[in-house]
């Protein structure tokens, strides 16, 4: 059985005091769960203090992006080594907002994933199609292209330990969510492609999150699908009650 993973992407939100308060509440209310991985992703400036606040708990921290280089003259960037040193265990790579607004490329995602693993981070590799691509019938073509580029620099054994996040761009922050059947179709295709590129055994180990307007009232039906192993949560992760309800809903547990 694949271990569920629920990650909250806080994007460019929250002051430091707000981030620390939210992290503390997530720790207090979700720290009892041992059957899933719960992750929060604050802005880079807050990774270290949030990780310090969560130290000793079961809640892990992710950065929202990294550079592919270990160090260098790259003003404004964060290296995987620095992110790891700050206390993060994961890093989100290739989010559609990075691709759309900051020129992130398929090849660049692959390089960043390689660098993350080299420095002890687990990459959360994001892939997903736009509405135009879906309506043109190119959904699987786009997702496969992005997936292949993200996994190309990795060995099969390394692929087994990454997290893949399928985030249809048309569902991110729009209130529109892929139906469980729509999400499952793509997740199953992703797993088949991983099997083709590595092996069926490795594909069975890879965790694939769904992201795109995940909320407390749809998480249970999404998680009921056989190839959906968790969620990458955006807006609903900024408020403790909704994020905790998503975590508990994913696990079929009671919130407190």
Write phi, then psi, for 45 (nearest 5 degrees): -60, -25
What the block records as the tokens of 193 is 């492609």
State the residue for tokens 């879906």: 134
Cα separation, 8 vs 57, whole angstroms? 16
Q: How many C-beta atoms surround the C-beta of residue 131 within 10 A?
A: 13
The residue from 95, 104, 133, 225 that is catalytic is: 95
Q: Contacts by 177-185 with C-beta closer than 8 Å and gap 24+?
A: 177/212, 177/213, 177/214, 177/215, 177/218, 178/210, 178/212, 180/221, 180/222, 180/224, 180/225, 180/228, 181/225, 183/210, 183/222, 183/225, 183/228, 184/225, 184/226, 184/227, 184/228
The values of phi and psi at residue 70, to 5°, are -70, -30
Annotated catalytic, 95?
A: yes
Catalytic residue among 104, 167, 187, 225: 167
Residues classed as catalytic: 95, 167
């Amino acid at each position: 059985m694949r271990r569920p993973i629920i990650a909250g992407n806080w994007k460019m939100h929250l002051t430091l005091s707000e981030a620390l308060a939210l992290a503390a509440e997530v720790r207090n209310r979700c720290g009892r769960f041992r059957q899933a991985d719960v992750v929060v992703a604050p802005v880079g400036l807050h990774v270290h203090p949030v990780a310090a606040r969560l130290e000793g708990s079961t809640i892990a921290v992710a950065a929202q992006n990294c550079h592919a280089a270990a160090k260098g003259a790259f003003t404004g960037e964060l290296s995987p080594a620095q992110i790891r040193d700050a206390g993060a265990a994961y890093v989100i790579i290739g989010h559609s907002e990075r691709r759309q607004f900051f020129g992130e490329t398929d090849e660049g995602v692959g390089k960043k994933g390689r660098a993350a693993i080299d420095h002890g981070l687990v990459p959360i590799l994001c892939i997903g199609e736009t509405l135009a691509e879906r309506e043109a019938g190119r959904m699987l073509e786009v997702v496969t292209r992005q997936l292949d580029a993200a996994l190309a620099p990795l060995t099969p054994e390394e692929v087994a330990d990454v997290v893949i996040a399928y985030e249809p761009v048309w569902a991110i922050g729009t209130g529109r969510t892929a139906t469980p059947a729509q999400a499952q179709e793509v997740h199953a295709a992703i797993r088949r492609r991983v099997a083709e590129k590595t092996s069926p055994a490795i594909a069975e180990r890879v965790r694939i999150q769904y992201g795109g307007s995940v909320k407390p009232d749809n998480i249970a039906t999404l998680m009921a699908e056989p190839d959906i192993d968790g969620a990458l949560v955006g807006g609903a992760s900024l408020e403790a009650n909704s994020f905790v309800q998503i975590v508990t809903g994913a696990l079929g547990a009671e919130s407190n």
